[in-house]
Structure 1
Amino acid sequence: MSKKTAILGASTNPTRYAYLAAERLTSHDHEIVPIAIKSGTVFGKEILDLKTKPEVGDIDTVTMYIGPQNQAEWEDYILSLHPKRIIFNPGTENPPFAQKAADKGIEVENACTLVLLGNGLY
C-alpha cells in the first residue's frame, strides 16, 4: 500500500540520506512530497519551499531529515500536515516534539526510513 510521505529536509545531493530516502520511497511506489529550504527537483518532484509552509494533504508519514536544533520553528507546521506518523531518522530524534506529536495521536518512531524500507516494515 502506497504511503504518501513528506520528506522534511529533502535534498538533491545524492550523498545525503534524505536523497536516498526519496530514491527508495519512489522505487517502493510511495508518493513523495519533498520539502526543504533549498530548492530543486528530486525524482521528478519539485522540492516545496519549507519557508512558505506549503499546504499538503493526505500525508501518511513525515520522515525527518532536519536536526532537532532546527525543528522548533517548523513543529506547528509539521503537526498541521496531520500525518499518521512521524519518523525521526538517526540524528533527528527530538523527545519533546515526539511527545507533542504523540499527544495529538500521531504515531512516532525513532527509526531509519531506509532500514524500514529494506526490511519491509515501512
Structure 2
Amino acid sequence: MYQLRQQGSVTVVAPQVAINQGSVDQLRAAVEPRLADRPTFLVFDLSAVPLLDSSALEWILDTQDEALRYGGELKLASPNSLCSDILGLTGVDERVAVHSDTVTAVGSFSR
C-alpha cells in the first residue's frame, strides 16, 4: 500500500495506490507517528499514485498544517499529470510545494 523510508531528517512516504477515502486512513496511521517528531519534514512521493480524491486533498492539507505548526513542512513529489491537474485546480499546490521528483523535494529542505 505504501513505502516509508528515511532520507536524513526527511521522511519519504510513497503510496502505491490511489489515495481516496478507502486508503487515506491507513496512510494517516502511518504518518501520524512521524508528526510527533518535532520538527517534521515529510515528502509524499506521488509517482505511483494514479488518483487523488477530496479525502486525499484534505489529508494532505491537514498534514501540512500539523507539520508547519511545529516548524516542519510537507512537500509533494512526482505527481502524474492528472494528480498535478487536481492539485492545481483545487489550489492545494499553492499551500504545499510540488516538486518534479523526490530527490529535488528532499534536497529543497536543505536550502
TM-score under structure 1 length normalisation:
0.45
Higher relative contact order (CA 8 A, sep 6+): 2
Higher helix share goes to which structure?
2
